[in-house]
Amino acid sequence: MSLKDKNIVIGICGSIAAYKIASLVRLLVKEKASVQVLMTPDAKEFITPLTLATLSKRPVLSDYIDRYTGTWNNHVELGLNADLLLVAPATANTLSKMAHGSCDNLLLATYLSARCPVMFAPAMDLDMWHHPSTQENVKRLLGFGNILIAPESGELASGLVGEGRLAEPEEILQQIQQFFYRPLPLKGKKALVSAGPTHEAIDPVRFIGNHSSGKMGYAIASALQSLGASVTLVSGPTQLPTPPNVNRHDVTSAQEMLAACTTYSDASDIIVMSAAVADYTPLKVASQKIKKKDGNLEIALKKTTDILTTLGKKKTASQTLVGFALETENELQNAQDKLKRKNLDYIVLNSMRDEGAGFAGDTNKVTVIDRKGQVQQFELKSKQQVADDIVAIIAAHQGL
């Protein structure tokens, strides 16, 4: 699988495993990729820029400015022109900086400017790799949509044996090739995803809301995009970063979410409504903060417009409409009833009884039911893996 015309930026960090990147650069050039090497200052202690420049046929960049010529190494341009940024070997130090937005060298500045996909291949000692802070940083980077090339197990520089070895150059090359040539069954399809909670204003400072984090919907948006779909994400209030190459439309209330979803739905081939939309909203919103008084406070509520029902009524035969159901009793029956009433193709059932499922966490356990009554149960997985399962079902349905 040739990588001809692919612009690949490799960021090398200060690790003994840096020597392996010489072989990787050679393999990539052999596959006709255009390779630009960046090095952190510490990386030059382990392998020389001259070696990598000779193999890549390009000057190796490490500083913001070439102090001999005054040339500025434009990190923005590097990030914008790349088809892929690979950070390898990625040290614990660099992983931490990437995860938290630190920027003290050219590689990190390029990472923060990159709009292309990012892969990272960690290399470090066993205990460093398994330390909770490192694992949390990896989880954070995966949440940004970055792609992990997992370290291998074997003998380490310290003499310990276990996980932490940089993946071999041939394995890294294979994962890069698989990334560029992965199937895109949803290419040309437009997808609409709703995610997160809604906040229904009581007064200028208070609202009615729920505990939805938006993680499931964001994972679905990312999974749809990874299979080639053009994705619009209508998001309630959340602190989650926008998945790469996804168009995000922020809303606050159920009414705003309804307006946005109905606007985008007509042009969408795939509609996944995973947001936790409020069923009720205050009848009147106070213009000033409600002051505390003696006695109870009563707030009159009115029903919000059901977004799934609205979209189900206008759904066309070519559209795939997916809803979610969070149940606490008679789960399967209630979900099947909701699927029929709202004219859905699929409904994804969460049970609050399942440990590790539901709001806020990073895992979920779902059951997917289709309009023919077929039921698929999945084990507890990460929300990204759950999203991949759901999107695989959608992609198969779109291919009918």
Active site (catalytic) residues = 210
For residue 32, say whether it is annotated as part of any ligand binding site: no
Helix then strand count (H, E) for the chain reads: 13, 21
* 324 in a known ligand binding site: yes
340 annotated ligand binder: no
Q: Give the list of residues 6+ apart from residue 50 with CB closer than 8 angstroms, or none.
A: none
CB 346 within 8 A of CB 330: no
Q: Beta-carbon neighbour count of residue 341 at 10 Å?
A: 12
- The sign of the torsion formed by the CA atoms of 272, 277, 279, 285 equals negative
Question: What gap in Å lies between CA 187 and CA 224, rounded to an integer?
Answer: 10
Q: Which two tokens stand for residue 135?
A: 């694992």
Measure Cα distances from 10 to 36, 61, 154, 325, 345 in Å. Answer: 6, 10, 24, 44, 43
**How big is the chain, counted in residues?**
400
Query: In 19-34, which positions are buried (b, 16+ CB within 10 angstroms) versus exposed (e)?
Result: ebbbebbbbbbebebb
CA distances 149 to 154, 284, 288, 310, Å, are 16, 53, 53, 43
Query: Tokens 């199937």 label which residue?
Result: 183
Query: Which residue stretches of 31-182 are H helix?
Result: 49-56, 75-81, 92-100, 106-113, 126-130, 132-143, 169-180
**Alpha-carbon span 226 to 155, nearest angstrom:** 35
314 is in an annotated binding site: no
179 is in an annotated binding site: no
Residues comprising the binding site for CTP? 279, 289, 324, 338, 342
Residues comprising the binding site? 279, 289, 324, 338, 342
